[in-house]
Chain A
Amino acid sequence: AGKTLTAVMHSDLRIIDPIFTTAYITRDHGYMVYDTLVAPDSNFKIQPQMADWKISDDKLTYTFTLRDGLKWHDGAPVTAEDCVASLKRWAAVDGMGQKLMDFTASIEATDAKTITLKLKEPYGLVLDSIGKPSSRVAFMMPKRLAETPADKQIPEQIGSGPFKFVQGEFQPGVKAVYVKNTDYVPRKEPASWTSGGKVAKVDRVEWITMPDSQTAVNALQSGDIDFMENLPYDMLPVLEANKELKIEVLNKFGYQTLGRMNFLHPPFDNVKVRRAALLAMNQKDVLDALVGNAKYQKICGAFFICDTPFATEVGADTLVKGNGMAEAKKALAESGYDGTPIVIMAPGDVTTLKAQPIVAAQLLREAGFKVDLQATDWQTVVSRRASQKPPKEGGWNMFFTNWVAPDVSNPIANLSIGGQGKKGGWFGWAEDPKIEQLKDAFVRASTLDEQKKIAADIQKEAYEQVIYIPLGQYLLPSGWRKSLTGVLDGPATPLFWNVDKSE
């Protein structure tokens, strides 16, 4: 009994190991059940969460001290050993984690409450990595679970977060249920993003899956549900007119949408062809088709998200102005493009990914490309984009995806901007030693200004090589019934603590 908050999230929860996968919904699930050692506040500043920390003067030793009263959901106390195992499992698969480990000499539990991390050389992103707010998040879990190989899912959901997962009621594709963790001791500070006091005010949170957004909107209007994470833009006029609803953007930085080409196969193995494609694109058309509402879309040439420390417009000229088509035609003609059709994967089942391929296809065609727009579903895109085979054998030339701002807001977090090629590179397998060098320099940079400069260089190189094409930013409005109070904004995930519901 008690207060139940019913929410429709952006997608359905099916994988529930937050380290195993990067799916955003699994990350959101993670924030319900698990807690982090440290966490960013709304000023991007990392704050203590489960632990406070000290940094040695040589910047080589980080000592984390767990606060008192932390308990796992099974009742056991949280120990430093648990956290070390958790960090290791996370670092094994997360990009920033791996980077961190490259610099790490050792990470140990020096006593029941103390975790000591020793670096080989100074590394500026230790706290940013451990506290990063989006996938994958360094969630803490008991050692016995954290010892599960990273290629296997953990068998149980035991965290130390403000909510407990009700395994018995979990129906993948239908609903996930969380109940208030009455043993949770929140921090005293007010909640700010994922930091501060996580006070659960409702007794039960149900995430209901509604495969059809129209149904969900209906349900929100009729009061069947309290909260809907993503509202379809076109329904906003109707919903805004509804006095029982509140509509707000919770993640102020929103998402970046981007197009990625496959560097392994013609024609996009040729940088000139990639340039021509870049020139043909323009953000306005994409955003108009995707969002179509000036309030929620933002043309932005920055690889690392506008209005963040590393934002710069360098190299983004035509993309932002939308005046590159003539140049694109010329560039394509000179590139030696032989008319090979470009296979673009177009998922039909994810609303935030439907428009990009269609608009891109049209723009590319206009520039003189031959385009083979292949309709599929998102999961197929996900499994197909991992294929390094030529397009004719089940491979691809181009796909589109979206990142939540924190996931791309610096060159290390931003997976898509690497240059490692087939060896550990992101789908598309761009090979660009220069970018890798710059990224290396970035992590070693000691001041923000230095970092900014390097980030700008990376962006310049990325545009030159067309590592990927940022197609603009958009915000997702969430909506909830006015019976909910205290809904917090955050960097990525919707937060269910601090929310109260009046009957």
Chain B
Amino acid sequence: MLGYLLRRILAAVPVMGVVALFVFLLLRLTPGDPAAILAGDNATPERLERIRESLGLNEPLVVQFITWVNKLLHGDLGTSLISNLPVIKMIGQRVEPSISIALCTIVLAVIVAVPLGVIAAWKHGTWIDRFVMGLSVLGFSMPVFVVGYLLIQVFAIELRWVPVQGFRSIFNGFGPFFERMILPTCALSFIYIALIARMTRAAMLDVLGEDYVRTARAKGINEVAVMMRHALRNAAVPVITVIGTGFALLISGVVVTESVFNIPGIGRLTVDAVLARDYPVIQAMILLTSLIYVVVNLLIDVAYTLLDPRIRY
């Protein structure tokens, strides 16, 4: 197992390499000049040139790339071109909110979606099935920000049950954290619930046709046990997979949710950085999210082995 983990991590290296190179080229080969953004309204070409020089942006691309990778290997993510702060610090400030939303969303979505999917599959073809599926498709068809505004309008402005926006660290007490986390989580969960419920249903339907489900029934145990003990555990692998691949979706959703609810997370940091051509920040962020993605998928593979004894590495 440990060996496997190690190998997987090693296998992730080329992936990260691809990401790094791609991001770097994408950023540097497309127009956009951080110097101009920095300098402001009356910058002369000479001044821009000098600023570029002081930022190291006029070196040849290869040199810039090597410098960056070299620093990266030494654990240095560089300094923001715009705010002059160390990138690592900027990211550090922003990680908690994003992780909070992501985790809350996943937890909520799983808690809601899996039972929905199971019920839909169990009652396959009945109106319950159609209702659940209709509901989940509906969740899939509304942009996150629309859902977000609706929730704010109703629960924060009209009913005043929760604050409109913002974020409080969970370390400063659960109450304020929870209050501010609940709407964004709901907004973001919508699409996720849809995704997971559908996947659960499909996987359950597959599994319900398997021989061992028939065996279980032939044993005379009750339907709930058949569903939970026999079907769901076997359906878990594709469901977990979709949770993993849905992670990319989640990251997109987080960006929007962070804007709507004004949550100072890494999603917005990246969007801002892209808009400002703050190369070191963008590079670090995309690398980081890719890394998270890789790690999440690694964890999911580990989860496979726990769920399904046939999968061994």
Q: How many of chain B's residues touch chain A, expressed as a range?
A: 35 or more
Q: How far is the CB of B51 from chain A (nearest CB, A)?
A: 5
- The answer to whether residues A14 and B82 also contact, given A152-B54, A211-B259, A218-B152 and a CB cut-off of 8 A, is yes
A424: nearest chain-B partner, CB-CB: B44
Q: How far is the CB of B278 from chain A (nearest CB, A)?
A: 8
In contact, B50 and A172 (Cβ under 8 angstroms): no
Chain A 354-402 residues near chain B, CB threshold 8 A: 377-380, 382-388, 394, 401
- The answer to whether residues A386 and B33 also contact, given A215-B260, A215-B262 and a CB cut-off of 8 A, is yes
Collect the chain B residues with CB atoms within 8 Å of residue A150's CB: 47
The A contact surface, by secondary structure, is loop
Chain A 402-419 residues near chain B, CB threshold 8 A: 415
Judge whether B94 is part of the interface by a CB distance below 8 angstroms.
yes
Binds A, one of B70-78, B113-121, B158-166, B203-211: B158-166
Cα distance, A382 to B82, chains bound together (Å): 14
- The answer to whether residues A222 and B163 also contact, given A173-B268, A386-B43, A415-B41 and a CB cut-off of 8 A, is yes
Judge whether A174 is part of the interface by a CB distance below 8 angstroms.
yes
In contact, A171 and B90 (Cβ under 8 angstroms): yes
Judge whether B198 is part of the interface by a CB distance below 8 angstroms.
no
In contact, A383 and B268 (Cβ under 8 angstroms): no
The B contact surface, by secondary structure, is helix
In contact, A383 and B156 (Cβ under 8 angstroms): no
Collect the chain A residues with CB atoms within 8 Å of residue B271's CB: 211
In contact, B260 and A20 (Cβ under 8 angstroms): no
- The answer to whether residues A219 and B164 also contact, given A15-B38, A383-B33 and a CB cut-off of 8 A, is yes
Contact of A218 among B42, B82, B93, B164 (CB under 8 A): B164
Judge whether A226 is part of the interface by a CB distance below 8 angstroms.
no
Chain B 32-60 residues near chain A, CB threshold 8 A: 32-45, 47-48, 50-51, 53-54
Judge whether B173 is part of the interface by a CB distance below 8 angstroms.
no
Collect the chain B residues with CB atoms within 8 Å of residue A424's CB: 44
Contact of A224 among B51, B84, B85, B166 (CB under 8 A): B166
Collect the chain B residues with CB atoms within 8 Å of residue A135's CB: 40-41
Q: How many of chain A's residues touch chain B, expressed as a range?
A: 35 or more
Judge whether A16 is part of the interface by a CB distance below 8 angstroms.
yes
In contact, A15 and B165 (Cβ under 8 angstroms): no
Collect the chain B residues with CB atoms within 8 Å of residue A387's CB: 31, 33
Judge whether A335 is part of the interface by a CB distance below 8 angstroms.
no
Residue in A14, A20, A150, A401 with the greatest tally of chain B CB atoms within 10 Å: A14
Q: How far is the CB of A18 from chain B (nearest CB, A)?
A: 10
B33: nearest chain-A partner, CB-CB: A383
Judge whether A221 is part of the interface by a CB distance below 8 angstroms.
yes
Q: How far is the CB of B255 from chain A (nearest CB, A)?
A: 10
A208: nearest chain-B partner, CB-CB: B262
Residue in B34, B42, B166 with the greatest tally of chain A CB atoms within 10 Å: B42
- Binary B-proximity of A132-165 (CB < 8 A = 1, otherwise 0): 0001000000000000011111010000000000
Collect the chain B residues with CB atoms within 8 Å of residue A17's CB: 84
Contact of B165 among A218, A380, A383, A422 (CB under 8 A): A218
In contact, A379 and B42 (Cβ under 8 angstroms): no
In contact, B45 and A386 (Cβ under 8 angstroms): yes
Judge whether A212 is part of the interface by a CB distance below 8 angstroms.
yes
Cα distance, A388 to B49, chains bound together (Å): 14
Residue in A150, A151, A155, A208 with the greatest tally of chain B CB atoms within 10 Å: A151
Collect the chain A residues with CB atoms within 8 Å of residue B280's CB: none
Cα distance, A401 to B40, chains bound together (Å): 12
- The answer to whether residues A383 and B37 also contact, given A171-B90, A219-B262 and a CB cut-off of 8 A, is yes
A388: nearest chain-B partner, CB-CB: B45
Judge whether B149 is part of the interface by a CB distance below 8 angstroms.
yes
- Binary A-proximity of B145-170 (CB < 8 A = 1, otherwise 0): 00001001000110010011110000
In contact, B264 and A222 (Cβ under 8 angstroms): no
Residue in A16, A22, A380 with the greatest tally of chain B CB atoms within 10 Å: A380
8 A-B interface contacts by CB (under 8 A): A15-B82, A171-B90, A171-B264, A377-B275, A379-B275, A383-B33, A387-B31, A426-B42
- Which residues of B does A touch, CB under 8 Å? 31-45, 47-48, 50-51, 53-54, 80, 82-85, 90, 93-94, 149, 152, 156-157, 160, 163-166, 259-262, 264, 268-269, 271-272, 275-277
- Which residues of A does B touch, CB under 8 Å? 12, 14-17, 20-23, 93-95, 135, 149-153, 155, 170-175, 208-212, 214-216, 218-219, 221-222, 224, 349, 377-380, 382-388, 394, 401, 415, 422, 424, 426
